[in-house]
Structure formats: structure tokens, C-alpha cells
Amino acid sequence: MPKLTLNVNSLKALASETRLDILKLLDGKKMSLKELSEATNLHEVTVHEHLSKLIEGGFVNKHEREGHKWVYYQLSWQGTSLIHPENTKVIVLFSSTFISFFFGVILLINSFFSSEISGIISADNPGSLKDGHMLFLSIFPGSVLFIIAIVCMVLFIILMSLSIRRYRRNKIPKL
């Protein structure tokens, strides 16, 4: 996820309590100017001025559909990462989970081929393994690759359970 960068417009947008309330209202949904005005008990012109500052700061996106008179406002990725910084941890956990799964599968395949090829090499012609053919096979025997693959798969299961637990915890709104 990209870094959250704050410039002068961003700091001006965050300088108001009302704008922070608008960001919280837009969390996870699109709202029109009228809906935001009713939720904040402010006049529509005032809410529009606050939304303009939030759009300049990059925290809110304005969605206009051609042929429709209603305009909807929604949090941008920058606004979402400001409201929910904990989601970055979930993304890192999910990424490391799938990396460990990927390496586990690759190592399982290599350990299988290592045992197959080592049996063929020892039986038929011992000098047949050339440079460039499955680098892992020439470094590690099949049993070591299999153990590393099992460790990667266990790591995958642990990281996946932690990722899902953190994701569910982050979905529950905090008061």
C-alpha cells in the first residue's frame, strides 16, 4: 500500500473537527451532499465547503454520473488509510502468507523431482545432471527440500489464521 503523504492542502483539510467527522461518516460508504448535511446537522453549503477542502487534500473522491443529478462522495485510498492504518498490517500478513505458500509448493515439487531424478541418475547414468537443471536438486537432497516445504506449509497455515483473525478484528467498528 502506498505511503500516506501529507502536504499543505492535506493538513488544512485535517485542521477541522467537522471535516474529520465527515471522513468518519464516509467510512465504507458513498453519501450525497444532502445525506452528509443531515448527518452533521450543517447547512449544505457549509458541508460542500468542507468537502471541497477534503477533495483538495486527496481524502475524498467525488463521483458524478453522467445524466444523473446526484453527486456522491466517498473516501479515497488516502482517506481510508488515514481512518484505518491497521489495514496495512493485514496486507503485509496476507502477502507473507501467500509467499510462504508459493515457496512451499515450489519446494514440494522440487523435492518430488529430486527423489525421482536421484533415483534415475543413480540407476542409469550418474553424470546426467547438467548445469542449469533444477538448481535446488544439485544443492539439497530431496528429503531436506521436503522438510523445508513442510515448514513453509505450516508457516502458511499459521500466517493465514493470524491474517484472517486480524482482518475480522479490523472489520468490527471500534467505538
Write out pLDDT tens, residues 3-58. 555 667 677 777 788 888 888 888 878 888 899 899 889 998 999 998 888 888 88
Is this prediction's pTM over 0.75? Answer: no
Is residue 175's pLDDT more than 50? no
Beta bridge partners of 84: none
pLDDT in tens, 129-163: 444 445 444 555 667 778 888 888 888 888 888 88
pLDDT (0 to 100) of residue 1: 44
Q: Where are the domains of the chain?
A: 8-83, 87-171
Is residue 108's pLDDT more than 50? yes
Is residue 169's pLDDT more than 50? yes
pLDDT (0 to 100) of residue 142: 63
Cβ atoms within 10 A of the Cβ of 159, count? 19
Among 28, 15, 19, residue whose Cα is nearest residue 52? 19
Among 155, 129, 175, 173, residue whose Cα is nearest residue 28? 173
Beta bridge partners of 72: 32, 63
Is residue 73's pLDDT more than 80? yes
Residue 152 near residue 101, CB atoms below 8 Å: yes
pLDDT (0 to 100) of residue 45: 92
Which H, E and C letters describe the chain, residue by residue?
A: CCCCCCCHHHHHHCCCHHHHHHHHHCCCCCEEHHHHHHHHCCCHHHHHHHHHHHHHHCCEEEEECCCCCCEEEEECHHHHHHHCCCHHHHHHHHHHHHHHHHHHHHHHHHHHHHHHHHHHHHHCCCCCCCCCCCHHHHHCCHHHHHHHHHHHHHHHHHHHHHHHHHHHHHHCCCC
pLDDT (0 to 100) of residue 103: 85
Cα 159 to chain centroid distance, Å, stands at: 14
Span 74-87, average pLDDT: 78
Q: Give the list of residues 6+ apart from residue 21 with CB closer than 8 angstroms, or none.
A: 40
Assigned CATH class of 8-83:
mainly alpha
Span 106-117, average pLDDT: 72
